[in-house]
Amino acid sequence: MAVSGVALLLFVVAHMVGNLKVFLGPESMDGYGRWLRSIGSALLGNEGVLWVLRIGLVVMIVLHMTAAIQLARRARAARPESYRARRPVQGSYAARTMRWGGVIIVLFVVYHLLDLTVGVLNPHGVHGEIYRNVTADFQLWYVTLAYTVAVLALGLHIRHGIWSALQTLGVSSARVVQTAALGFAVFICVGYLSVPFAVFFGLVR
Amino acid sequence: MRLTLRIWRQSTKDDGRLVDYRLDDVSEDMSFLEVLDVLNEELILAGDEPVAFDHDCREGICGMCGMMINGVAHGPERATTACQLHMRHFADGATITVEPWRAKPFPVVRDLVVDRSALDRIIEAGGYISAPTGSAPDAHAVAVPKPDADTAFESAACIGCGACVAACPNGSGMLFTAAKITHLGVLPQGQPERDSRVLDMVRAHDDLGFGGCTNTGECTAVCPKGVPLDSIGRLNRDLLRASLRPRR
């Protein structure tokens, strides 16, 4: 759980850096897309390295979900009879919403791939014109809303995930790690939300 | 105070159910267990079966009492056992739901009494040090730095009440296990068996049917002794290290 989570988090950070290129204009954004496809093309051909990374990501997602399902099944077996009265949260809200939050994120990733990778759900949907695709998306209020909900779910997931992963890997200073995880989650949320909101409010056209 | 107690009643034969009991003259200075005592006197006079619940010292140090009070282990007050919880923390006219700890390794014996010997099985797996008995050694024979002694004591304060398991959404006993790992793991006396202790105790914990820890922090929030979550990080560190080293 922790190790696959850390790998996925590294992807999330790299993805965010790429997103922010939208503020540098269409050339920077589309050029970044071309560069991504061309990494290592001398060795593995165009998109070769990209596919290696994509397969690695899918493997990590499968491992992450497998571990989550195992934990959920153990939890259900450990409490066959539930409480009649239960005050839900004494600890952290983010921790309590990890499982359903994860489901929301997976569903979003499917939509996101169809929207901006495959392009079939994108209002512009022209391959390689990343900047135009993105700006076409976030002029629509419901697309912006969907992305906002997903990013906030991701933020909650990361807020508990970072600290829980570090605790699993043996770091034992809960308060410091929890504060750092919260800061990082806010950083990720702001980074990801800046793009849809900038487009929606007309700062990026 | 007038109260309605909605209490889980279960004999060995049936599946159990919640039963309402009205109490019209409860003092706000009573402890929660004293209210149950008053109820039981009334039940006995009426010829009914009294409510079975565990208790012993009633000073918050033995770990015998423990029940879910309005869905929170040991009730609404932090760092407080059920026996030290006073009725002034409840509103007049309130309905209070009382249930036993619920976990697969804690079968209900009767009403609010559960069998917590699974915790003893975890301790038996490694929660001890092997030392020759005889006359007690001098207290200063082995030097322990004060910060280590404090960390050990924080975890040694665990009274084994089982609230961490009861509160955990995963039904995990990791805080209990980690408290003993931390208590012995930071002291010099605990070093020789440090690796085998963590491996054996975690395996016993998992084999007994406790759930896996997801660091939700529900456990430490209800722990009457405030055993910190840091102890679980220590357990994980020891577990990782012991797993990577060849077993001696």
Which pLDDT value is given to residue A173?
85
Distance of CA A77 to the CA centre of its chain: 30
Residue B31 has pLDDT above 80, yes or no: yes
Any domain includes B109: no
Q: Which residue of A has its CA nearest to B174?
A: A168
Any domain includes A182: yes
B99 touches A: beta carbon within 8 Å: yes
Q: Which of A164-178, B55-69, B193-207 has the lowest mean pLDDT?
A: A164-178
Residue B35 has pLDDT above 90, yes or no: yes
Question: Which of A84, A95, A174 is closest, CB to CB, to B214?
Answer: A95
Contact B167 A160 (CB under 8 A): no
Any domain includes B136: no
Which pLDDT value is given to residue A22?
95
Mean pLDDT, residues B16-27: 96
CATH number (domain holding residue B7):
3.10.20.30
Any domain includes A29: yes
Q: Are B89 and B152 within one domain?
A: no
The string of pLDDT tens digits covering residues B93-106 is 999 999 999 999 99
Mean pLDDT, residues B69-74: 96
**Best mutation target, A167, A169, A179, to test chain B (most B CBs within 10 A):** A167
Any domain includes A205: no
Q: For residue B74, what are the CA distances in angstroms to A21, A77, A103, B85?
A: 53, 24, 33, 8
Any domain includes B11: yes
Interface predicted TM-score (ipTM) of this complex, two decimals: 0.91
Nearest CA among A2, A5, A6, A12 for reference residue A187: A12
Any domain includes A48: yes
Q: Are B149 and B61 within one domain?
A: no
Q: Are B121 and B237 within one domain?
A: yes
Any domain includes B110: no
Q: Are B126 and B70 within one domain?
A: no
Residue A133 to residue B17: CA distance in whole angstroms? 59
Is the separation of the CB atoms in A117 and A36 below 8 Å? no
Which pLDDT value is given to residue B140?
87
Q: Quickly state the pLDDT bin for B195 (edges 50, 70, 90).
A: very high
For chains A and B, CB pairs below 8 A equal: 113
Q: Are B120 and B216 within one domain?
A: yes
Mean pLDDT, residues B161-171: 97
CATH number (domain holding residue B215):
1.10.1060.10
Q: Are B145 and B222 within one domain?
A: yes
Is the separation of the CB atoms in A59 and B45 below 8 Å? no
Most confident of B10-19, B52-61, B125-134: B52-61
Residues B141-172: b if buried by 16+ CB within 10 A, e if exposed = eeeeeeeeeebbebbbebbbbbbbbbbbbbbb
**Any residues with CB less than 8 A from the CB of A99 and at least 6 apart, and which?**
A68, A72
Mean pLDDT, residues B63-80: 96
Residue B247 has pLDDT above 80, yes or no: no
Q: Which residue of B has its CA nearest to A69?
A: B212
B220 touches A: beta carbon within 8 Å: yes
Which structural domain, as residue segments, surrounds residue A137? 2-83+91-200
Residue B248 has pLDDT above 70, yes or no: no
Distance from CA of B214 to the nearest CA of A (A): 7
Mean pLDDT, residues B44-53: 97
Q: Are B126 and B203 within one domain?
A: yes
Q: Are B35 and B149 within one domain?
A: no
Any domain includes A15: yes
Percent of chain B scoring above 90 in pLDDT: 92
Residues in chain B: 248
Which pLDDT value is given to residue B168?
95
Is the separation of the CB atoms in B75 and B43 below 8 Å? no
The string of pLDDT tens digits covering residues B3-21 is 999 999 999 778 899 999 9
B103 touches A: beta carbon within 8 Å: yes
Radius of gyration over alpha carbons of chain B, in Å? Answer: 20
Q: Quickly state the pLDDT bin for B109 (edges 50, 70, 90).
A: very high
Low-confidence ranges of chain A (pLDDT < 70): 88-89
Any domain includes A174: yes
The string of pLDDT tens digits covering residues A84-132 is 998 866 778 889 899 999 999 999 999 999 999 999 999 999 999 999 9
Number of structural domains in chain B: 2
B171 touches A: beta carbon within 8 Å: yes
Number of structural domains in chain A: 1
Tell me the β-bridge partners of B97.
B6
Which structural domain, as residue segments, surrounds residue B157? 116-131+141-244
Q: Quickly state the pLDDT bin for B242 (edges 50, 70, 90).
A: very high
Mean pLDDT, residues B215-239: 95
Mean pLDDT of chain B: 95
Any domain includes B18: yes
Any domain includes A19: yes
Any domain includes B163: yes
Any domain includes B105: no
Which pLDDT value is given to residue B155?
97
B107 touches A: beta carbon within 8 Å: no
Any domain includes B199: yes
Residue A171 to residue B150: CA distance in whole angstroms? 19
